[in-house]
Structure 1
Amino acid sequence: MMKAGALLAGLTSALAGHGASHDEQEHACRGDAFHFCASEIPNKEKITACMKQHYDELSPPCKAMFKRPAKDGSKT
């Protein structure tokens, strides 16, 4: 359960600029975060980077929580 709490804190921080509620973020991205980025929990910066790295593989609801990464790797 500790990992789940850390994951949620990391996702909330990572997606804070999106404007979605904590519950919306958790619902949209929890499964993807555990699937793609479980090894990065509880480091919120690494979770964020991992989720962005897997952007094209994320579920549509989770993908909607992130800005599409720039093709050249720069921040948008």
Structure 2
Amino acid sequence: MTASFTSTLRQAGLVLAFAVSFSALSSSSSFAFSAEAQQMCTGDAFRLCSSEIPNIPRITACMYKHRADLSTGCRTVMDRDLAQQAKVATK
């Protein structure tokens, strides 16, 4: 196997692990984020929290920890989703 094939295969595995993690994250009531948040934040999660993949609670904690470093789109969508969750939780 060539180094580039191995690298590509590893990257594909990480993408798959992250997608599965975010899918599970969105189905968990305490860590539920929209499909839009998943799309907007995938790059940030890989950039800032790749060492935490596939541990969902640790990815989430890492994303909160690095909130100031998130892209504008990711931060906006996460804030909106969290506000919606808080509203639902208080009903």
TM-score by length of 1: 0.68
Give the equivalent residue in structure 2 for 1:67: 79
**Between the two proteins, what is the percent identity of the paired residues?**
38
Across the aligned residues of Structure 1 and Structure 2, the Cα RMSD in angstroms comes to: 2.3
- Work out whether 1:36 is the aligned partner of 2:48: yes
- Work out whether 1:5 is the aligned partner of 2:50: no
Ranges of 4+ aligned residues in structure 1 off by more than 6 Å: none
Q: 1:56 aligns with which of 47, 68, 84?
A: 68
Q: CA deviation at 1:42?
A: 0.6
Q: Which runs of 5+ in 1 are unaligned?
A: 69-76
CA distance in 2, matches of 1:65, 1:11: 14
Q: Which has the higher contact order (CA 8 A, sep 6+)?
A: 1
TM-score by length of 2: 0.59
